[in-house]
Amino acid sequence: MKTKAVRLYGKNDLRLEEFELPQIQEDEILAKVVCDSICMSSYKASHEADIHKRVPRDIAQNPVIIGHEFAGEVVEVGSKWKGQFNAGDKFSIQPALNDPKGPVGVLSAPGYSYRFIGGDATYVVIPNAVMENGCLLHFKGEGYYPASLSEPLSCVIGAMHANYHITPGSYVHDMEIKQGGSMAVLAGVGPMGLAAINYAIHRTDRKPKLMVVTDIDQSRLDRAASLYSPEEAAKNGIELQYVNTGAMADPVEGLKALTGGVGYNDVFVFAPVAPVVEQADAILAFDGCLNFFAGPAKTDFKAPFNFYNVHYAYTHVVGTSGGNTNDMKEALQMMGKGLDPAGLVTHVGGINAVIDTTLNLPSIPGGKKLIYTHIDMPLTPIADFEAKGKEKPVYAELHKLCVKHKGLWNVEAESYLLAHATGL
């Protein structure tokens, strides 16, 4: 079967090509990709190319398909996996395989390392390692984009599970955010910050009493508050506050004042900016855990940390760079119960938009850029659907469907787009 895919050949060298996929082996699966959410990690991989830890050194001769936040449906199943997977099954994939036999060893991942599997393609061959590691996940919810976004949601789930607190008098750590504690999400209204807010206010097993979300852009804060309101959080027993630290004379004192001067049990940093890390350190409570979530592009990124407090106040830092398979299963399960990640999506496009979007991702404002691989469509902000609808009726209908859903992408709009994309 032929596929159309965006492949990485070298630094900033992405090419949209059509080529033949190999016949699947008995331990492989042929699948149709429906959509892929473009991640900043793909931007980093495309700029670093063969020096990236997950990218093979021979991509000039054996290019890899990019994209790792994807969903679709099974087309054909090799004999080894028949019964466990069937044609027509909808799926999501956990890209962190831990595949020691992969192209770059344990760091091998779809979207970085493999020739015939990645999210920015029409059809892919899923290798045996994905199934052996339990990383091909069934999705039984509506639509496809929620399954595509389960990977970024799993990253924030993993971050919250990775936080820990001490048990006084012992060396046992209590994993997770502090139940009933105070949480700060700094620089927290970008795509991943929104995912963290959505998860935190809807989970039922553990939750903070106070959650403060900061940024220095009031319009972004207002959008976040419209998507995940303090009233919605209050229904789950959480006091949610959105704070513009750019308008504060002393952000550290202002943020600590919201906790009665005690500080925060859990602080998440969603921007790789040294002053934000310093601010996070300064607002930690006794036994406070700082989670450095944002991945820096610079390998020598550093920020001061108060080691007096490390010694006497038991403050500590952790870092997470993704979720595991259980985190992704939790994400899919929550989506099956009604959690909608659509608030992350601000742009929609077709496979023809992948190269420019990936190479220029940091300079494109907004949240997640969602790609539908079987259509051609310029990368388009959802906010522009109405204006574009004056010339092309498909956009007008997409605008109507998004208005029905608080201005957000949704399953109805997805279905309509897939059925009428030729009108673009």
Q: How far apart are alpha carbons 98 and 106 in whole angstroms?
A: 4
Determine the average pLDDT of the residues in 305-320.
96
Q: What's the pLDDT score for residue 69?
A: 96
Q: What's the pLDDT score for residue 98?
A: 86
Q: What's the pLDDT score for residue 336?
A: 81
H helices within 203-345, ranges in order?
218-227, 230-234, 251-257, 274-282, 307-312, 325-336
pTM of the model: 0.88
pLDDT band for position 229 (cuts 50, 70, 90): very high
Q: How far apart are alpha carbons 261 and 195 in whole angstroms?
A: 28
Number of CB atoms found within 10 A of residue 95's CB = 27
The sign one gets for the Cα dihedral 292, 294, 300, 304 is negative
Helix, strand, coil proportions of the chain in percent (round to 5)? 35, 25, 40
Determine the average pLDDT of the residues in 256-279.
97
pLDDT of 244 strictly over 90: yes
Domains 1-148+340-424 and 155-319 share a fold: no
Q: What's the pLDDT score for residue 168?
A: 83
Q: What is the DSSP string of 236-257?
A: TT-EEEEEEGGG-SSHHHHHHH
Please give the share of the chain, as a percent, with pLDDT higher than 70: 100
Q: Spell out the residues 6+ positions from residue 235 whose beta carbon is closer than 8 angstroms to its own.
A: none
Q: How far apart are alpha carbons 189 and 25 in whole angstroms?
A: 44
pLDDT of 371 strictly over 90: yes
Q: What's the pLDDT score for residue 314?
A: 96
Sheet holding 182-186, edge to edge: 239-244, 210-215, 182-186, 264-269, 284-292, 316-319
Instruction: Indicate the pairing of strand 182-186 with strand 210-215.
Output: parallel
Determine the average pLDDT of the residues in 155-161.
95
pLDDT of 321 strictly over 90: no
Q: What's the pLDDT score for residue 246?
A: 95
Q: What's the pLDDT score for residue 11?
A: 97
Instruction: Read off the tokens for 292.
Output: 């450095």
Q: What's the pLDDT score for residue 297?
A: 75
| CB distance 41 to 376 below 8 Å | no
Fold classification of 155-319 is Rossmann fold (3.40.50)
Determine the average pLDDT of the residues in 273-283.
97
The residue among 370, 336, 367, 366 whose CA lies nearest residue 353 is 370
Using CA atoms of 95, 100, 105, 108 in order, give the dihedral in degrees to the nearest 10: -10
Q: What's the pLDDT score for residue 320?
A: 86
Q: How far apart are alpha carbons 349 and 77 in whole angstroms?
A: 29
pLDDT band for position 191 (cuts 50, 70, 90): confident
Q: How far apart are alpha carbons 73 and 121 in whole angstroms?
A: 13
pLDDT of 54 strictly over 80: yes
pLDDT of 299 strictly over 90: no
Determine the average pLDDT of the residues in 173-184.
97
Number of CB atoms found within 10 A of residue 361's CB = 18
| CB distance 298 to 271 below 8 Å | no
pLDDT of 366 strictly over 90: no
pLDDT band for position 195 (cuts 50, 70, 90): very high
What is the CATH class of 1-148+340-424? alpha beta
Encode 286-303: b = buried (16+ Cβ within 10 Å), e = exposed. ebbbbbbbbbbeeeeeeb
Please give the share of the chain, as a percent, with pLDDT higher than 90: 89
Spell out the domain ranges in the chain. Answer: 1-148+340-424, 155-319
Q: To the nearest whole number, what is the mean pLDDT of the chain?
A: 95
pLDDT band for position 296 (cuts 50, 70, 90): confident
